[in-house]
Amino acid sequence: MVECRRICIVGTDTDAGKTVVVAALAKAARQAGLAPLVLKPVQTGCAPDAFGRLQAPDCAVYREACPEAEIEAAFLLREACSPHLAARRDGVTLSAASLSQAVNARLSASSADLALIEGAGGLLTPLNERESLLDALAPLSAAFILVAANRLGMLNHALLSVELLRARGLPLLGFILTGPEPGGDSEPERRIRADNRIILPRIAGFPLLAELPNIPELRHSDPVSRAQGWDEAALAVKEAVTNAGKR
């Protein structure tokens, strides 16, 4: 039995583009002949379906990109906010141990050979008043990929995240940069992004694994256009998932 490679995909902050990156990695993994498992330890902003069951919006994105993948969210919370607040609003107690145990149980039951575990917000997103997301991810024996939106201010956020992973002794494979955001393509912004992609790996000492551009087709109402968008996204991260699977 092939050992399942575990990778935590974490972001510098909210809206860094983690979910689209994870979905694209899952599709690229499947196209490379791997069997991916996509896990979301905690999902906020969940709405009930017609039967009153909460549905995880990120899982819907994974499923559209790679319907063949095993997909699951462990803890589903209603309010779209930090997990500690969403849990309090729902009357739920979150702990790092409960998240780690839920993820490990799902991993043990899976036949996947690549597990993609998506964080929520940044590394220090609180689960409660004492523990952060990183406290739940650290015991999983996983490597990390850091996703950052390539824009002004990204360098500070990314380097702080690198220092935190380093301080905890956790392995970082490298970076995936996303963007630009719609409308964010002026000459000064292009100059900033061009420098970011060069200077971040130099300062941090970890490689740029891939860049996932803004893909308009992913927001299209036509399913065929969205499918083409996911093919483009998977191609953009193909080398990252191939290399990650080997390390």
List active site positions.
40
Helices (H), the chain: 18-31, 57-65, 83-90, 96-108, 133-137, 154-167, 187-204, 223-246
- Torsion sign (Cα): 70, 73, 79, 84: negative
Tell me the C-alpha distance between 4 and 158, whole Å.
27
Specify which residues 47 forms β-bridges with: 55
Residue 2 near residue 113, CB atoms below 8 Å: yes
Taking the C-alpha atoms of 57, 59, 16 and 114 in order, what is their torsion angle to the nearest 10 degrees?
170
Q: Which residue has the tokens 């060069």?
A: 198
Whether a cis peptide bond, with omega within 30° of 0, leads into 182 is: no
Identify whether the C-beta of residue 156 lies closer than 8 Å to the C-beta of residue 196: no
